Amino acid sequence: MADIDVMEQKPVTMLELKDKLSNIKKSGKELNFRADKVHTYLDEFLAGSKKTSQDLYKKLSELKIQKLKERYIVKIIDTMPEDQDALKTIFVGETSTFKQEELKQILDDISATAKNSYYAGPPSKATLTLYFPRGISEIETQQGTAGANEGKWELIIRFKRGATTVDLVENFPFEVDVTELSKTEGKRKIIISAERKDIDSDPGVTNLVEYVKIKDQ
């Protein structure tokens, strides 16, 4: 057997691999045994769209985190971790370490991509697994009034780390209700649902607005 020189290695997402194998089959070429098995598996079990994958890849690449290598980005897109614990498993055995702020930044983009898929209006809803740290003193929402956050709603989880008060903030382009979300510590499942409500208006006039409710499962 002739020696093969590997000139370049490039990680690809499972969605990209599925697309490449499908194109080979469409061209009339026959896949070998292993490639055919992989294509069958991806075709049956892989969910998600190529555009969503490409959008998330672009967002993560634009974070400009030096330690976030291309192979990490591909793993994140393939596994779509829902919390920091799940995200950290991607880097097990790797030499790179990430600050909490960097992990939060990555999760923000995953969250934004999920919103594009789930928030199509009532009765849409999604279940997410999130980690709530010890020492939460307050969970609240407020509407941004300046800069890039003007008109957006901020979900603020406030907790203490030693003598320091830390705020974790997630931005939403719509009103958010967290009155049924508890402060319980640990890994939790929460439900995010699109709702409608009638706001105060003239008598006999219905004025419905859409918002999102976040509550414990």
**Distances from the Cα of 179 to the Cαs of 58, 140, 187, in angstroms?**
35, 8, 19
* 117 has a pLDDT exceeding 60: no
pLDDT of 173 reads 77
* 56 has a pLDDT exceeding 80: yes
Q: Rounded to whole angstroms, how far apart are CA atoms 85 and 83?
A: 6
Q: pLDDT for 14-24, tens place per residue?
A: 888 888 898 99
Let me know: does 176 contact 107? Beta carbons within 8 Å.
no
Q: Rounded to whole angstroms, how far apart are CA atoms 66 and 61?
A: 10
Strongest mean pLDDT among 35-39, 200-204, 207-211: 35-39
* 171 has a pLDDT exceeding 80: no
Q: Residue 169, exposed/middle/buried by CB under 10 A (0-12, 13-18, 19+)? A: middle
Q: pLDDT for 126-153, tens place per residue?
A: 776 766 666 778 888 888 776 666 777 8
* 196 has a pLDDT exceeding 80: yes
Q: Which residues contact 13 (CB under 8 A, 6 or more apart)?
A: 53, 57, 74, 77, 78
* Residue 83 three-state SS: coil
* 108 has a pLDDT exceeding 80: no
Q: How many CB atoms lie within 10 A of CB 165?
A: 12
In this predicted structure, which of 26-30, 143-147, 181-185 has the lowest mean pLDDT?
A: 143-147
